[in-house]
Amino acid sequence: MFKLHSPYKPTGDQPQAIEYLSNGIKEGKKFQTLLGVTRFTEKPLQWQT
């Protein structure tokens, strides 16, 4: 598992998407698709494993 650290807070429907994808990982789903991505953000994210 990993933890995502970011100074930014999820907004709009992002909290629901995060929850949905997180549950899929916990259920062992190997493939998931995140729909509705409209732009790439250059906000820095730190991944810790």
Which tens digits make up the pLDDT trace of 6-48? Answer: 898 888 888 888 898 889 989 999 888 877 655 555 555 555 5
DSSP element (H, E) containing 4? strand 3-5
DSSP element (H, E) containing 20? helix 14-26
| pLDDT for the residue numbered 38 | 58
pTM here? 0.57
What's the rounded Cα separation, in Å, for the pair 34 and 7?
A: 22
For residue 49, is pLDDT > 50?
no
For residue 4, what pLDDT band results from cuts at 50, 70 and 90? confident
Strand, coil or helix: 47 = strand
* Amino acid at position 47, single letter: W
